[in-house]
Amino acid sequence: MRRGIGPRTSLRLTPGRAIILAFGAVLAVGTGLLSLPMATQGRSATFLEALFTATSALCVTGHVVVDTPTFWSPFGQVVIMVLIQIGGFGVMSLATLLGLLVARRLGLRTRLTAVSETHTVAVGDVRRVLLGVAAITVVIEVCVALLLAARFGLAYGEPFARALWLGAFHAVSAFNNAGFALFSDNLMSFATDPWIILPICGAIILGGLGFPVIMELRRRIRFPRRWTLNTVTVVSGTLFLLVAGAVVLTVLEWSNPATLGSMDPAGRLLAGFSMSVMPRTAGFNAIDVSQMHGASWYVTDILMFIGGGPAGTAGGLKITTFAVLLFIIVAELRGDTAVNMFGKRLPRSTHREALTVALLSLALVVGSTLAIMVMSPFGLDRVLFEVISAFATVGLSTGITADLPAAAQLLLILLMFIGRLGPVLLGTALALAREKRMYELPKERPIIG
């Protein structure tokens, strides 16, 4: 009897594995639906096109290998929007919420799975938080959709039904940081229109803050001193990156006739601001990314890699992880015995988690970049941009995604999947059950530097 305990324990469905399996199941359904003839306007999608698009939508990335408005039919576009909404909210979170609404009770395993995916609550708070997250999502998306629909209808002469559809699709895509658009040039035709760009940027920023931050700001926005360390870090980091990114990218592209140079000063400032918002894992582009200077690509790489806040719709390394690493460096340079961050002391387990996530992310980006450079004729700058964009679930592209070989596109699919679920979650889900070590090894310090 005792011999049978080990295998059964190691194969049990942990919360991490449940999330990965659920994402895989939804991805399979989405790929199947997009493979149907009714999902396209001309020829049927190939398996790779359907798989790539479904992964990009479910992982709220925005990378495309076909033109969304002309290739996919209204049915296909609805499938994409639904996948974006499911991916942004969380597959297991959505399933838990539906179960809550139907059965009005949650089992312990369901609660643990929802907590594992959202990273937001204790087991006893799942019901309250999921309902709050759903309410926030609906309110923000409806408000943005109505603003956009009014603009599309009044300023661009779109029929009422078409304006509502455009508003709804882009609101869902923006709040979930997906970057899919129903225009062949994405948002380039509206680069200087604040009534289109600013609502979309607002939805992107809110989605990128993360649900824990939004929920806390609802209660304590007037009392910053009572904010948690997570909220202080995300809000301050978001403001800094938005301002710094906007200033640097606007200066770099100010005289580039292929991007900002052809606009009036007000339009340049608006488009420059959007250039700083979109790399925060949103993926919309109001200017032609392929025509940006190499230095601007490099700055965008940094913004994409850092990403947004945790437990939200954004991807990337996350602002909190980057901030922890920064304060670890500051503490080491000062010779401090502890790492202090915004008036709070960080536990050593947080140090290890941040370093693990950063090194795993860096390893994935470096290895994937090398692999795609071997597979394709493109140079380092473009390939690195595509890889970071896929891993950070951004969706911005220098225009080479559709021209990459099938093997490279499959690698981008894997990067999007891993980037959405998180390297640590994926590693935990695939690893065997950990055994607690009952002893410690002798301590010895190697030479550093």
Kindly report, residue by residue over 24-83, the tens digit of the pLDDT. Answer: 899 999 999 999 999 999 899 999 999 999 999 998 888 899 999 999 999 999 999 999
Rounded Cα gap, residues 280 and 306, in angstroms? 8
* Residues 289-333 pLDDT 10s: 999 999 999 999 999 999 988 877 788 888 999 999 999 999 999
Task: Indicate the pLDDT class of residue 94, thresholds 50, 70 and 90.
Answer: low
Residue among 193, 433, 207 at smallest CA distance from 307: 207
Rounded Cα gap, residues 417 and 397, in angstroms? 17
Rounded Cα gap, residues 329 and 152, in angstroms? 48
Q: For position 109, what pLDDT does the model report?
A: 52
Does residue 434 have a pLDDT over 80? no
SS3 426: helix
The residues near 421 (Cβ < 8 Å, ≥ 6 apart) are: 19, 20, 23
Task: Indicate the pLDDT class of residue 433, thresholds 50, 70 and 90.
Answer: very low
Rounded Cα gap, residues 351 and 355, in angstroms? 6
**pLDDT, mean over the chain:** 85
Q: What average pLDDT score do residues 159-170 get?
A: 97
Q: List the alpha helices (DSSP H) in 210-318.
A: 211-220, 229-253, 265-277, 294-306
Q: At what angle do helices 348-375 and 406-421 cross, to 10 degrees?
A: 170
Q: Quick one: tokens of 6?
A: 């080990």
Say what percent of the chain tops pLDDT 70.
Answer: 84
Q: What angle do CA 426, 303, 130 make, to 5 degrees?
A: 50
Pairing verdict, β 340-341 and 344-345: antiparallel
Rounded Cα gap, residues 313 and 90, in angstroms? 9
Task: Count CB-CB contacts under 10 A for residue 73.
Answer: 15
Q: Specify the range with the lowest mean pLDDT, choosing from 66-80, 127-141, 353-367.
A: 127-141
Task: Indicate the pLDDT class of residue 4, thresholds 50, 70 and 90.
Answer: very low
Rounded Cα gap, residues 130 and 363, in angstroms? 34
* Residues 5-18 pLDDT 10s: 444 444 465 666 67
Does residue 235 have a pLDDT over 90? yes
Q: Where are the domains of the chain?
A: 14-428
SS3 243: helix
Q: Quick one: tokens of 85?
A: 């909404």
Rounded Cα gap, residues 176 and 82, in angstroms? 11
* Residues 188-227 pLDDT 10s: 999 999 999 999 999 999 988 887 888 888 888 888 888 8
Q: For position 437, what pLDDT does the model report?
A: 65
Q: Specify the range with the lowest mean pLDDT, choosing from 131-140, 161-170, 378-387.
A: 131-140
Q: For position 226, what pLDDT does the model report?
A: 86
Report pTM. Answer: 0.87
Q: In the chain, what are the helix, strand and coil shares in percent, each to the nearest 5? A: 70, 0, 30
Q: Quick one: tokens of 230?
A: 């997570």
Q: List the alpha helices (DSSP H) in 281-347.
A: 294-306, 319-334
Compute the radius of gyration of the chain from its Cα atoms: 22
Rounded Cα gap, residues 13 and 19, in angstroms? 10
Task: Indicate the pLDDT class of residue 119, thresholds 50, 70 and 90.
Answer: low
Rounded Cα gap, residues 333 and 319, in angstroms? 21
The residues near 142 (Cβ < 8 Å, ≥ 6 apart) are: 171
Does residue 102 have a pLDDT over 50? no
Does residue 353 have a pLDDT over 60? yes
Does residue 371 have a pLDDT over 90? yes
Task: Indicate the pLDDT class of residue 120, thresholds 50, 70 and 90.
Answer: low
Contact indicator for 99, 110 with CB cutoff of 8 Å: yes
Contact indicator for 174, 200 with CB cutoff of 8 Å: yes
Among 167-171, 423-427, 439-443, the range of highest mean pLDDT: 167-171
Burial label for 355, CB within 10 Å (0-12, 13-18, 19+), is: middle
Task: Count CB-CB contacts under 10 A for residue 117.
Answer: 26
**Side chain identity, residue 272:** G
Contact indicator for 307, 280 with CB cutoff of 8 Å: yes
Contact indicator for 71, 42 with CB cutoff of 8 Å: yes
Q: For position 198, what pLDDT does the model report?
A: 96
Residue among 28, 100, 12, 22 at smallest CA distance from 421: 22
End-to-end CA distance of the chain: 53
Does residue 424 have a pLDDT over 70? no
Q: Quick one: tokens of 299?
A: 């700055």
Q: For position 6, what pLDDT does the model report?
A: 46
Residue recorded with tokens 């695939």: 430
DSSP 344: E
Q: Quick one: tokens of 195?
A: 């009534």
Q: Quick one: tokens of 221?
A: 């926005």
Residue recorded with tokens 């009714």: 38
Q: For position 123, what pLDDT does the model report?
A: 46
